Homo-oligomer: A and B are copies of this chain.
Amino acid sequence: MISVEKALQIVLNSTQDFGVEEIPFFQSNGRILKESIVADRDFPPFNRVSMDGIAIDFQQFQNGQKEFFIEGIQAAGSEQRSLKNPKNCIEVMTGAVLPKNTSAVVRYEDLEINNGIATILIDEVKDFQNIHPQGKDEQKGAILIPKNIQISPAEIGVFATVGKSTVKVAKQPKVMIISTGDELVDVDGIPLAHQIRRSNVFTLVSLLENLKIPSSTNHISDDKEVLKTNIKKYLETFDVLLFSGAVSKGKFDFLPEVLEELGVQKLFHQVAQRPGKPFWFGQTETCSIFAFPGNPVSTFVNCLVYFYSWFYKFVGIKFEEKTAILAEDIYFKPDLTYFLQVKIHYRFGHLIATPINSNGSGDLSSLIKADGFIQLPNDKTEFKKGESYPIIIYK
């Protein structure tokens, strides 16, 4: 049995590079950017008026002039005009190009306009005021977005601004999610007394959906030959197989055996953690196999701890570790890393983690009551209120 740290290290070392694809920018929300986005021109691209009002030659105001004849209007989206007479002004709209021969904008609030004459009501006007100078935000050629970031609405706006109608993103791995166990019936079936419905595969599908990874699912009964035939096919077709169940020590838990018979290299089986201990992990040349224990909470936490980390490593994303503060003393004796289910509250900028009552790894509804797992290391048995530990927030 290996430690969580060691298991994670092995998982992260096994990531492969599945390459890059180019997609329409407006479909890229949540995907991983694989190219740097560069300013195609200065931002703003011209001296940009930032208030509605009049543009003047600042020198005239310096010389004491307060009344300006309005020569015309410079609208946003119109070609740059020129102030013909330096003693006049041009009305300007937010977003417009600053007219030639002008060097300050006085906003309507500080003006009175009568009969085509604008009178400045304030005593102080600054050179170049209310103008967003060309190139102030970014210069042409500057990197606006580095590659290897997760795309969010903010990035989508920048893609549009610089004319990136398609963007290069990490290809998503092809994933098959497989449930095993003869005790499982379909969601719309009526289980007999000794049966339960399939649920973990759907949880996994949704957890992957949150990473924008589409996945296929299947159920295989606890028959060694059927398992073997199907898995052989999947190993050839998919980049990743996720299993839920059939990795304990039970008589019908053929899975590790079947995988090894099919030439999958076992990298570890069993991790010193609770819940999720009987996790089996292996690989072939082309496929990574995550076989999670069948209990709902075990499958859930292992997907977040191992598969999510594997995926982010694989696409080149690094996240800052989040931590939270324990709201209660915790005593946990086993020599295992303890992923304790907690509810998170925000208090004066502190993340407070309050343990929820749970009946162990089979307790599906505990995942509803909690919104995260706080990770308590195996080298201690007492964890004090007020101490901070790594947190995985899933809601």
Contacts and interface: CB of A to CB of B under 8 A. Distances in A.
A245 B75 CA distance: 13
Interface string A202-233: 11111101100000000000100000000000
Contacts of A95: 181, 183, 196, 245, 294
A328 interface: no
Nearest to A207: B153
Contacts of A20: none
Interface in A157-196: 157-165, 181-184, 187-196
Interface in A332-385: 345-353, 359-360, 362-368
A279 to B, nearest CB: 14
Interface residues of A, number: 109
A183 B76 contact: yes
Contact of A157 (B137, B182, B199): B199
Interface string A99-114: 0000000001000000
A258 interface: no
Given A50-B360, A153-B203, A161-B364, 14 more contacts: A25-B187, A45-B191, A48-B362, A75-B222, A76-B181, A78-B183, A152-B206, A153-B204, A153-B210, A157-B200, A163-B188, A164-B187, A323-B347, A349-B388
Interface of A: 25-26, 29, 43-46, 48, 50, 52, 73, 75-80, 91, 93-97, 108, 132, 136-138, 144-145, 150, 152-165, 181-184, 187-200, 202-207, 209-210, 222, 245, 248-253, 294, 296, 300, 320-325, 345-353, 359-360, 362-368, 388, 394-395
